[in-house]
Amino acid sequence: MSFESAKWVWMNGACVRWDEATVHVSAHGLHYGSGVFEGVRCYETEEGPALFRLDAHLERLYYSAEVYGLEIPYTREELSEAVCEVVARNEFRSCYVRPICFYGSRSLGVNPRGCPVEVAVMAWPWGAYLGAGGQDAGVRVTVSPWLKFDSRMMPTTAKACGQYLNSMLAARDAASRGFAEALLLDAEGRIAEGSGENLFVVKDGRVVTNDERHPILLGITRDAVIQLARGLGFEVETRALDLEDLRAAEEVFFTGTAVEVTPVVEVDGALIGEGARGPVTERIQRAFFEATSGRDPRYTHWLRHVAAQPAWSTV
């Protein structure tokens, strides 16, 4: 990840230079994590840069905001245009986009009463999330000593800033022990998700994942992969996942906006299947990148193409 080529940020209604996109130290969101965000990937296609499932990401952003009582002062179409503007102004062909909404500066009581809602959109180039080669060779993961918080503690289906402290603890612990990523269990000892990814298991040709009955974020990429897998003829089952499912799995893979589709080949020293990317994962990967690049016409409705820079060249 590098911010060096990012020059513009959309902030509270207008694009500003990267170094001018600042927040006051008294912002409520800084002190309490009181904000919501999304991660959206923009892919290069023959018709120019295209945002993958932008509508679905914005729908979840507004849902998360509603859960936490943030009233976003822009319509979905206005934010959609803001995302496109940031990509175009930065002249990116492909990138990662981060819309974020948070309570700003007015008071620092835990209740954010009276605090304004700040809205920003950033974009920057971001390659393979779990390291170069991970999507081909697969990654090594560990079961985290940190548990995923229960939906009775915080709403797991909302994507809120402060909730990711749980993920940060798990990810840092995994990295300190030489693993690419962590797997978090829930309070009942069942598999929840990675620190920022959903998990799929392949057994006997069937693709299995968990759902909102378990403490996971319902990933946009997760949903896309379920549709792609069914389109390829695979049976997809949603149910609880246990550690035994990992031990018996032929293949395991992560999904997420940042991680895309990445095979898991080892859990705490135990190989998954043959210890390499499996054929089902590879087929789903290929279908995913054909969809994101616009090469599969069945999924072009998932793409929002970005207009060329001159549309916003007046500022």
Per-residue pLDDT of 197-249, as tens digits, reads: 999 999 999 999 999 999 999 999 999 999 999 999 999 999 999 999 999 99
User: Of 35-39, 173-177, 215-219, 307-311, which range is least confident?
Assistant: 307-311
Q: What angle do CA 282, 284, 287 make, to 5 degrees?
A: 110
Q: Report the domain count for the chain.
A: 2
Residue 78 backbone class (left: φ over 0; alpha: ψ -120 to 50; beta: rest): alpha
Confidence of residue 184 (pLDDT cuts 50, 70, 90): very high
Do 167 and 141 belong together in one domain? Answer: yes
Helix (H) or strand (E) holding 79: helix 76-89
Task: Look at 256 and 132; give whichever has higher pLDDT.
Answer: 256
Q: What angle do CA 33, 2, 290 make, to 5 degrees?
A: 95
Give the integer Cα–Cα distance in Å for 105 and 59.
26
Do 144 and 107 belong together in one domain? Answer: no
> Is residue 68 situated within a structural domain?
yes
Work out the end-to-end distance of the chain between its first and last CA atoms, rounded to an integer number of angstroms.
Answer: 28
- Domain ranges, residue 19: 8-127+303-312
Closest CA to 236 of 247, 248, 216, 222: 222
Q: Give the per-residue pLDDT at 142.
A: 98
**CATH number of the domain bearing residue 256:** 3.20.10.10
Percent over 70 (pLDDT), the chain: 97
Q: Give the per-residue pLDDT at 101.
A: 98
Do 34 and 149 belong together in one domain? Answer: no
Q: Give the per-residue pLDDT at 314.
A: 44
> Is residue 39 situated within a structural domain?
yes
Active site residues: 159
Do 92 and 211 belong together in one domain? Answer: no
Q: Give the per-residue pLDDT at 128.
A: 86
Q: What is the pLDDT of residues 76-116, one digit of tens each?
A: 999 999 999 999 999 999 999 999 999 999 999 999 999 99
Mean of the pLDDT values across residues 154-164? 96
Query: Does residue 311 carry a pLDDT above 80?
Result: no
Do 67 and 178 belong together in one domain? Answer: no
Structure token digits, residue 5:
């080529």
pTM, two decimals, is 0.95
> Is residue 189 situated within a structural domain?
yes
Structure token digits, residue 289:
């990148």
Q: Give the per-residue pLDDT at 132.
A: 82
Mean of the pLDDT values across residues 283-309? 95
